[in-house]
Amino acid sequence: MKTRIDINTWNRKEHYAFFCQFTDPFWGVTIMVDVTRAYEIAKLRKIPFSLWYLYLSMKAANMMPSFRYRIEDDEVFLYDAIHAGPTIARADGTFGFAFIRYQNTWEAFYTDATTEVERVKKGSGLWAEVNEPNIIHVSTVTKLHFTSLRHARHFELKDCCPKITFGQVKETDGKRLMPVSLHMHHALADGADGGNFFELYQQLLNT
């Protein structure tokens, strides 16, 4: 479900009009998040750590309207829920796009996620079976503890989906730190939204 936003009365009307003119309207930031507690929980519960921190990131994103805005045919819509569109690595060195529907509970999310991950791993195509606009593009670079990141972009495509990239976890001074890159369309979100997301995400990782 989605709700159409009246741009004329929207408090982001001028921001939207201004940044929609840009060739590359995305801004990006990379933050080191503390996943010490989240890693311990995943190990204790014997669940995949990668799916656990993905689930928590989607939970944080779904709590924020700025992550649920989408531009469609020059109109803005607010979706009730957004889902994950991650890249899934295969044994042959390639990857495929998946579609993992967000669920309010970990148990439901885990069931859907594991089924979709296995489907993509056993397949050979690039694209997900489901392709909806209310997703977040997600990727993981397990071999790089990066400090910044830039995505490949097709400027002629009117892409407005947020992009989250998780990096390699490293242990420093007894803490496990993971770089997380966030890119968002500036017509729909500002740096403050990114700050609020990381604050909320860190709280969930610590819970």
In the prediction, which pLDDT does 97 show? 95
Q: Which of 48-52, 78-82, 92-96 has the lowest mean pLDDT?
A: 92-96
> Which domains does the chain carry?
2-206 (3.30.559.10)
In the prediction, which pLDDT does 130 show? 83
178: closest CA among 146, 137, 136? 146
In the prediction, which pLDDT does 155 show? 74
Residue 199 has pLDDT above 90, yes or no: yes
Compare 152 and 75 and report the one with higher pLDDT: 75
148: closest CA among 29, 26, 27, 24? 29
204: closest CA among 48, 25, 33? 33
| pLDDT tens string 90-116 | 999 999 999 999 999 999 999 999 999
| pLDDT tens string 121-167 | 999 889 888 888 999 999 999 999 999 999 988 877 789 999 999 99
Pure H helices in the chain: 13-19, 36-45, 49-62, 106-122, 191-206
